[in-house]
């Protein structure tokens, strides 16, 4: 791959999947460190347009979105989730944390939702498709905190209180969504508003799942529950 870069502009489409993913990650990391996209493109032997596209992809989907997809749709993706299937997934997510359901996660993540869908329906979906459904279900928003990952200080997580569609479609539920500076998502959802104990438990689960201390910064928080963020000051 280094030889290709020295000899001119690389056609990224000709690279193996692993090589392309590594190239994307290195290029995005260089831009995030302060190197201009033009200089990154020149250094890695790719087009300025490609670098810009990878940075935008990272901003909207985090590191999982940098993983190249195979050409065409994967076998599991030929089956779109039906309305009853979506309702089932929403019901399960709102019923409690994934470990209560036998999944090896303390909080919901893209991977946890992927595993749940595969377990329930035998369908494998890519991370970008999972994001599509999370947005469709209003668990996360394409605008706002979800795209403002760059506002997140290193080591901290932005937490927003969203109102996802209820599984019964009779109203909206509640979700706590934590976003890291790398674009990684961790969330819990339920039908009722969160209590102080629930917020403390959310932070505890984040600590264990990330294996480190966490600093939580509330963003786009409902005014009616503003006082609850004091639970994270200790």
The phi-psi region of residue 24 (left if phi > 0; otherwise alpha if psi is between -120 and 50; otherwise beta) is alpha
Assess whether pLDDT exceeds 60 at residue 3. Answer: no
For 161-212, the pLDDT digits (tens) are 999 987 665 678 999 999 887 778 999 999 999 999 999 999 999 999 999 9
Name the strands in the sheet holding 174-180, side by side, starting at the edge strand that comes first in the sequence: 185-190, 174-180, 156-162, 215-218
Task: Please report the domains of the chain, with CATH numbers, ordered by start residue.
Answer: 2-66 (1.10.10), 78-232 (no CATH)
Interval 5-25: pLDDT, tens:
434 555 555 566 667 777 888
Classify residue 135 as left (phi > 0), alpha (psi -120 to 50) or beta: alpha
| Average predicted confidence (pLDDT) for the chain | 81
> Is the model's pTM score more than 0.85?
no
């Amino acid at each position: 791959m280094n030889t290709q870069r020295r000899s001119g502009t690389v056609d990224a489409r000709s690279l193996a999947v692993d090589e392309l993913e590594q190239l994307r990650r290195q290029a995005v990391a260089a831009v995030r460190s302060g190197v201009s996209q033009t200089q990154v493109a020149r250094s890695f032997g790719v087009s300025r347009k490609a670098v810009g596209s990878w940075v935008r992809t990272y901003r909207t989907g985090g590191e999982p979105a940098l993983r190249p997809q195979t050409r065409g749709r994967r076998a599991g993706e030929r089956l779109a989730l039906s309305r009853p299937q979506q309702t089932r997934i929403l019901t399960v997510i709102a019923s409690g944390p994934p470990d209560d359901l036998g999944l090896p996660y303390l909080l919901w993540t893209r991977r946890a939702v992927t595993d749940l869908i595969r377990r329930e329906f035998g369908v494998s979906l890519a991370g970008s498709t999972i994001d599509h459904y999370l947005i469709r279900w209003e668990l996360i928003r394409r605008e706002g905190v979800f795209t403002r990952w760059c506002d997140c200080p290193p080591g901290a997580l932005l937490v927003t209180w969203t109102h996802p569609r209820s599984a019964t479609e009779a109203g909206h539920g509640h979700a706590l969504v934590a976003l890291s500076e790398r674009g990684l998502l961790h969330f819990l959802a339920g039908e009722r508003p969160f209590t102080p104990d629930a917020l403390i438990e959310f932070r505890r689960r984040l600590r264990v799942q990330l294996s480190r201390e966490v600093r939580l910064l509330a963003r786009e928080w409902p005014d009616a529950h503003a006082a609850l963020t004091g639970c994270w000051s200790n």
